[in-house]
Structures are given as C-alpha cells and as structure tokens.
C-alpha cells in the first residue's frame, strides 16, 4: 500500500511530504528528550511548519527540543504548554491556553505515555496508565475539537503492539482498586483504548474531511521503558504474556528487532502526512503501513468504540458534540 517499511526514517517521510508540513500548526504531547516524541518534533520541524505546540509536565525535559528547533529553524514559532495528562484540571487549563493561541490545529499527535509502572491512581481516581495514555488525550482532543475542523486535519494516536496484552475493562478499569493489577494488562488496556479512540475519531472527523490513525511505532530504546529496564522480571513477564497472547490468535510470537529513534518516529509521521492513507482513516499502522497482521477484535469493534467513548465521557464528566 504505502512505500514505507520497517527501516524507513522520519527524515525520509518529511522530505517526501514537505509541502504537507510547511506553514502548518502542529501539536505534540510529551516530546521529552530521548523519546520518539522528541524525535518526531525535531524531524517534522525540518518541513518548516509555522507553529509547533509542545506539551509536557516539565519544561526542562522539553526545552532542549525547543532550543534545537529554534536554532535550526528560527522562522518556526514554538510554544511550550504545561500539561499533566493524568490531571483533568491540568488538561482543561492547557486546552484553554491552546484554544486562544491558535485558529486551527492541522496535525495533532497524541504521543505522551507511561508504561508498565506500579499501580497508582490519578488525582481523578483513575488507574494511572489509563488516565495518562487515554483519558487525558481523550479530554484534550475533545476540548480542542473546534480547532480540528479543517479539511485534511490529522489526529495521530501513538499506540503499541502491546494492545494485545489487555482489552479495556469496561466494568473494572482500576483492577479492583489495584488488587488484581498487572502493569502489562493495564498498559495493554490503555493501548487498546488508543486504537478504539482513533477509530471513533476517524468517524467524527470524516464530515469535515479530517483523518485519524493509531499506530505501533516499534520497539525503541527510550525513556518510556524506565520501569521495564529497571526490573528484569517485568520484561520477562511481558514476553511471556506476548507469547500467550499471540498463541491465542494462532500465531507464534516473534520479538521485533529494535528500531532507532529515527526509524521509530517514521510511522507517526507517515500517519500525519502520507496522502495514500486517506482511504484508511481509523486504521492501525505498523512499519509505515496499515497493519498486515490482523488486530484484535476488541481493539477495533464499533461496539467497543462506543462503549469506550461513553465511559470516557463519564470519567471526565462531560459529553462532547462533534
């Protein structure tokens, strides 16, 4: 379908679609130094968007990225917006700041995430991975929905192949208040939610000519893996669960080779820019293309899309009309 593959780099993608970046407004959540979000921001900046909005909990973690962009491309306006996705009050404050800052958002990349962390709940009482990886992004995108009405707008939700480790627990997203918690099931739940959210968004954006995608960036050594790399048992558990999950699908688990950060940001940028994907809005991408592996039904079904949307509205205490 697309021209891209496992080894494609973000630079190659932006070079191919510079005309689709130049002059645009781009928002990226969580582009902290050393992660694929930072590499995504640095790479897309070479296409000379007019305005880049970078959000995160800590300015010192993102300032090096802003400095690098300003140094290399002084024509680009860069704005840092403080945002803690685990805090709905922080999300609402950030959305208000962004709302007055821009007329529209052309490319909205939901990149920020946490992975395989010990059980905790957000200040709103939601399991932390679900709160950060899904609910915070759900709220932010919906609060800024009036900025996403332009034809060709793209919302990109960075997911993971780890969606295979857990469906959304619609009746018990907090794992019995932690009693039955497993860090990988919780991460899987949040990544499944990313896919369902992107599918639902694709349907809502269709009327205005916009698109949404979720994706697996690949296995990349980054700051996302802090908990996994500090405890070998967590990695061992992840691999065992992946083997079992693939076996249920009648497949043999093969651990993917690692990608560089330059390769790791490529699928995000393909989702944001490649016109060949316009007929596939809502799809889950892998290695720069619509996934060739059949994804889990629980991560794609219309029933689950609607159940998740309803649950998410309940968790944020607001309904959204598109």
Q: For residue 135, give the 3-state DSSP assignment.
A: helix
Residue 270: name the closest of 282, 255, 257, 286 by CA: 286
Residue 159 CA to residue 137 CA, distance in Å, equals 12
**What are the φ and ψ backbone dihedral angles of 6, each rounded to 5 degrees?**
-50, -45
Q: What is the DSSP letter of 134?
A: I
CB 105 within 8 A of CB 25: yes
Q: Are 189 and 173 in contact (CB under 8 A)?
A: yes
SS (H, E, C) 77-92: EEEEEECCCCCHHHHH
CA distance 221 to 260: 8
Centroid of chain to Cα 270: 13
Q: How far apart are CA 104 and CA 24, in angstroms?
A: 9
**Of the listed 181, 187, 284, 298, which one is catalytic?**
181
181 tagged catalytic: yes
Closest-CA residue to 191 (of 217, 160, 224, 157): 160
Q: Mapping DSSP to helix (H, G, I), strand (E, B) and coil, where does residue 256 land?
A: coil
Could you tell me if 22 and 52 are in contact, meaning their C-beta atoms sit under 8 angstroms apart? no
Length of the chain: 322
Q: Is the C-alpha dihedral spanning 103, 56, 220, 68 positive or negative?
A: positive
The β-bridge relationship of strands 25-29 and 284-286 is: unpaired
For 153, other C-beta atoms within 10 Å of its C-beta total: 21
Q: Are 16 and 24 in contact (CB under 8 A)?
A: no
Which residues form the catalytic set? Answer: 181
């Amino acid at each position: 379908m697309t021209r891209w593959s496992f080894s494609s780099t973000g630079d190659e993608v932006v070079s191919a679609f510079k005309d689709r970046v130049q002059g645009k407004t781009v928002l990226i959540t969580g582009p902290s130094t050393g992660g694929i979000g930072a590499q995504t921001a640095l790479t897309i900046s070479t296409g000379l968007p007019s305005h880049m909005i970078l959000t995160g909990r800590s300015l010192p973690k993102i300032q090096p990225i802003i400095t690098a962009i300003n140094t290399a491309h002084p024509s680009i306006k860069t704005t840092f917006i403080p945002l803690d996705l685990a805090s709905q009050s922080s999300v609402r404050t950030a959305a208000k700041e962004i709302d007055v800052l821009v007329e529209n958002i052309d490319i909205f990349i939901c990149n920020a995430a946490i992975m395989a962390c010990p059980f905790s709940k957000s200040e709103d009482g939601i399991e932390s991975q679900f709160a950060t990886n899904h609910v915070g992004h759900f709220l932010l995108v919906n609060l800024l929905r009036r900025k996403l009405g332009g034809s060709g707008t793209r919302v990109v939700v960075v997911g993971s192949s780890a969606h295979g480790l857990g469906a959304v627990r619609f009746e018990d997203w907090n794992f019995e208040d932690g009693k039955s918690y497993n860090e990988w099931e919780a991460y899987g739940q949040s990544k499944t939610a990313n896919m369902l959210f992107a599918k639902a968004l694709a349907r809502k954006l269709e009327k205005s000519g916009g698109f949404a995608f979720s994706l697996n960036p690949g296995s990349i050594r980054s700051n996302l893996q802090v908990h996994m790399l500090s405890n070998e048992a967590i990695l061992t558990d992840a691999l065992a669960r992946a083997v079992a999950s693939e076996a249920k699908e009648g497949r043999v688990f093969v651990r993917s080779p690692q990608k560089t950060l330059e390769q790791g940001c490529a699928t995000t940028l393909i989702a944001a820019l490649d016109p060949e994907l316009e007929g596939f809005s809502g799809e889950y991408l892998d290695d720069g293309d619509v996934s060739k592996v059949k994804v889990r039904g629980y991560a794609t079904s219309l029933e689950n899309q609607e159940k998740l949307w309803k649950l998410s509205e309940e968790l944020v205490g607001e309904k959204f009309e598109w």
